[in-house]
Structure 1
Amino acid sequence: MSDHQTQTGAGRVGQVKEITSLSNPVIKDIRALSMKKHRDETGTFLAEGLKLVIDAIELSWAIRTLIYAKGQRGKAQVEKIAALTVARGGLVLEVTDKVLTAITRRDNPQAVIAVFESRVTALDAVRLKPDETWVALDRVRDPGNLGTIIRTADAAGAAGVMLIGDTVDPFSTETVRATMGSIFAVPLVRTSEKEFLAWSKKTSPLLVGSHLKGSVDYRTIGYKGQPVVLLMGNEQAGLPETLADACGKLARIPQAGRADSLNLAIATGVMLFEARRHCLDLGDPAP
């Protein structure tokens, strides 16, 4: 390991560690973030890509470590975020392509990656407002689905995503990749089924569940004028009866083809954009 100084328009900003060995303990610690246990113990996770890292820093997420490929040295944006990382007490590492490949487990890794502190909102801290929409997910198991739903929630202007029970880790590398940066823009809540049921009873949002036995066309529900929570079930089992019984409306998405169901992320997107259309009073598109 060796040190060199980064230079920016603001002058010298601090030490940058140059690492070429996979056996370096700092690199070993970062590589261990592929395991949920280590993410939970450290309260950190890995994000890949210059744009994602810049977005996270602009949104005031706490950066622990910035890692970039040697070829990125001297590039204005990289030097800028390196200076910001040091200013915020983080570590900056310049590494070889071999080290980046080992960290990301990809043959063509992003040239800039970073370790951030995880951020989760407590359920009791959620203050519902009229015409806002939350997505609640029960025991979602696929990281790609979860990441796509978080990205879709961001695009639709949802207030946040609630993760009920044994839902896949939103800070896993696969989920973070699938969010395309929206992990930093969408509030996340983790809760148990019991806590969620007690909270929804106390706060009384319009709880709309997607259910195979749903008796209401999702387009006919009056979403406007109240806080809405769209409750989506597990990919295989759907919503359990305990959650379905708590819903004010059970909705279905009419289908015309031979498929008997939709992918969870697609179904969530369809319902979410319809709810947002009502709540924002966007009306029908102009001809």
Structure 2
Amino acid sequence: MDNPRSDRVRSVAALSKRSVRTRTGRFAVEGPQGVREAVRHAAPLVRDVYLTPEAMARYADDIVGPARAADRWVHEVTPEVLAAMAGTDTPQGVLAVVDAPAPTLDDVLAAGPRLLVLLTHVRDPGNAGTVIRGADAAGADAVLVSEASVDVHAPKVVRSTAGSLFHLPVVTGLDVAATLARLREAGVRTYAADGSGTTLLPGADLAVPHCWVMGNEAWGLEDDVRAACDDVVRVPIHGLAESLNLAMAATICMYASAGRREDGRCGE
């Protein structure tokens, strides 16, 4: 494929727009790491893989071969075509179009989760992507995302997840109040992570199934959300830093939960 103005190229490039992603139910994954993980862990959702000639040779074993083995369409394109499709200034020669997965809260709860994280009004793509990546690393069962948060299939979010988007369920479009109520009904405790908390992280009961509830980067959690949670937990700050970045705080909380699980105390 060598025409950067073709209809196919334009349709792929248009996936940078949320309205197009919503209408088509598809999104683009750029770069070898994300595409590799999509092919490995979500091959049925991968519609097309596009690679430059150099990338075809470089990733023959870990992307091209597995994609073809899964009966996915693999296309060799010129660097100009790849650049027209991609949303980055320096594309890495690999791009895939993927059907957006649609896990539900019912699916997550039916699996008996031990550790969840709920993002409420999180607007920064980098923060959202980093929390998904941190949840994956900490062994969380799913990430829950409110309807007012950033689109997790936006290009910047997808890149920030570094492929973790394909490793665990990410449920989107949730009403926060209804979700907190459902979690309570399912026996999952909800912990608002907030600097106003009187419970310090080391003192939180992480031996039970629980969900960390994270707020907006600028204003944190709304009063009614904090009140609806079972406890408000504060990450202690021992130095002079005024506060922690949202993604950093979420990762610290989730790793505290993972540490409790590794100690063998989770689920007693």
Q: What TM-score does the superposition give when structure 2 sets the normalisation length? A: 0.90
* Mapping for residues 212-251 of structure 1, pairs under 5 Å: 212-224=195-207, 226-251=208-233
Shift of 1:200: 2.2
The answer to whether the 8 A contact 2:146-2:176 is kept is yes
More helix, by proportion:
2
Q: Amino acid of the residue matched to residue 209 of structure 1?
A: A
Structure 1 Cα separation of the partners of residues 15 and 257 of structure 2: 36
How far has the Cα of 1:119 moved from its partner?
0.9
Structure 1: distance between partners of 2:195 and 2:56 = 54
Deviation of 1:129 after TM superposition, in Å, equals 6.6
In structure 1, runs of 5+ residues without a counterpart are: 1-18
2:40–2:66: 8 Å Cα contact kept in structure 1? no
CA separation in 1, counterparts of 2:227 and 2:136?
A: 28
Distance between the aligned counterparts of 1:115 and 1:217, measured in 2? Answer: 43
Contact 2:9 2:84 in 1 (8 A): no
Listed as ranges, the matches of 1:108-257 within 5 Å are 108-127=90-109, 132-190=114-172, 191-224=174-207, 226-257=208-239
Identity of aligned residues (%): 32
| Residues 13-24 of structure 1 mapped to structure 2, 5 A cutoff | 19-24=1-6
Runs of 4+ more than 6 Å apart: 128-131
Give the structure with the higher percent strand: 1
The answer to whether residue 15 in structure 2 is matched with residue 33 in structure 1 is yes
Report the secondary structure of 2:76's partner residue.
strand
1:208–1:220 CA distance, 2 compared to 1 (3 A): same
Shift of 1:198: 2.8
> Does the aligned pair in 1 maintain the 2:52–2:77 contact within 8 Å?
yes
Change (3 A) 1:21 1:193: same
Paired residue total: 261
Choose the corresponding residue for 1:83, options 68, 71, 78: 68
Matching of residue 68 in structure 1 with residue 51 in structure 2:
yes
Query: What is residue 80 of structure 2 aligned with on the other side?
Result: 98
2:113 & 2:155 partners in 1: Cα distance? Answer: 33
Q: Which residue of 2 aligns with 1:5?
A: none
- The Cα RMSD (Å) is 2.0
